[in-house]
Amino acid sequence: MQAIAKKAVVVKSDKEEIVKVYEIGYLLVSSIPKEKVADITVELRNIVTNKGANIIAEEAAEITQLAYTMIKKVGAANIRFNEGYFGWVKFELSGSEIEAVKKAFEENPNMLRSLIITTVRDTTYLGKKAPAIARSEDVVAPEAPAVEAAAAAPVEVPATVEDIDKSIDEMVK
Amino acid sequence: MNSAKQCFFCQNNIRQIDYKDTEILKKFLNPHGRMVSRKKSAVCAASQRQLATAVKRARFMGLLPFVAR
């Protein structure tokens, strides 16, 4: 019985030692003043580093227009946001610590949303290169417009009275 | 004669699709904000799966819309 319990503990400790590459993307509320954003970003970075994480890459929070209105519940009120400060941090951390980091991020009063993903060490974010690559070629082939198809079809001209008379004469002959 | 289209991500050597690259993700959305099918975009199966995950993450973070128009 004891041996089984001991084995289970060993397995658990093995799991804890697994170091993974994580990335946290966060969206801060737009109501915070511009001067304070840098301080809050450092504060969030410290949450990660205090857990013993090794920072690989990061981007400071910048104001971005949101694609849809987000609602944050503050007390009894629902506050709507159309803008937010979006930033991200990529780091290496053991699997056992990530839950604590997630909780700390979610508990931050300025946090609108946060997303933790597992990723790779290499740079995946193209950043400023992305628009150039996106412009380089059309991905979806444009469908042939209906107007062109109509233009290709032979157009029938209505017959005049003279044409009809001529054709009747030819038939009589 | 056979002008087979290649996967956009394989052509540009993009191994990992990042949810933050919204300019690229937008190319694979129709005007309503829905994902374009593989049949139209010619994206390989592996990239299409990654693309779907990236689009969903970008939508959650408010970088892309769930619905447009």
- Residue B68, domain member (yes or no): no
A17 CB-near residues (< 8 Å, 6+ apart): A94
Write the CATH number for A116: 3.30.70.60
Q: What is the pLDDT of residues A110-131, one digit of tens each?
A: 999 999 999 998 888 887 777 7
Model confidence band, residue B23 (pLDDT cutoffs 50, 70, 90): very high
Gap between the Cα atoms of A24 and A101, Å rounded? 9
- Residue A74, domain member (yes or no): yes
Write the CATH number for B23: 4.10.640.10
Size of interface A-B (CB pairs under 8 A): 76
Tell me the C-alpha to C-alpha distance, in Å, between residue A51 and each of A48, A54, A61, B10: 6, 9, 21, 37
- Residue B25, domain member (yes or no): yes
Tell me the C-alpha to C-alpha distance, in Å, between residue A63 and each of A10, A30, A68, A87: 46, 7, 15, 9
Q: Taking CA A150 as the corner, what is the angle to CA A148 and CA A152, rounded to the nearest 5 degrees?
A: 70
- Residue A69, domain member (yes or no): yes
Residue range of the domain that includes A28: 10-123
- Partners of A64 in the β-ladder: A84
Q: Total structural domains in chain A?
A: 1
Q: Is the pLDDT of residue B66 over 80?
A: yes
Model confidence band, residue A143 (pLDDT cutoffs 50, 70, 90): low
- Residue A90, domain member (yes or no): yes
- Residue B46, domain member (yes or no): yes
- Residue A156, domain member (yes or no): no
- Residue B2, domain member (yes or no): no
- Residue A79, domain member (yes or no): yes
- Nearest by CB to B62, from A70, A88, A122: name it: A70
In chain A, which residues have their Cβ closer than 8 Å to the Cβ of B65? 67-68
Mutate which of B17, B23, B28, B66 to disrupt the A interface (most A C-beta within 10 Å)? B23
Q: If you write DSSP's letter for every residue of A47-86 in order, what string do you get?
A: HHHHTT-EEEEEEEEEEEEEEEEEEEEETTEEEEEEEEEE
Segment A151-170 shows an average pLDDT of 71
Strand order across the A54-74 sheet: A54-74, A77-94, A19-29, A111-118
In angstroms, what separates the C-alpha of B58 from chain A's closest C-alpha?
Answer: 10
Model confidence band, residue A136 (pLDDT cutoffs 50, 70, 90): confident
Q: Total structural domains in chain B?
A: 1
Gap between the Cα atoms of A110 and A43, Å rounded? 11
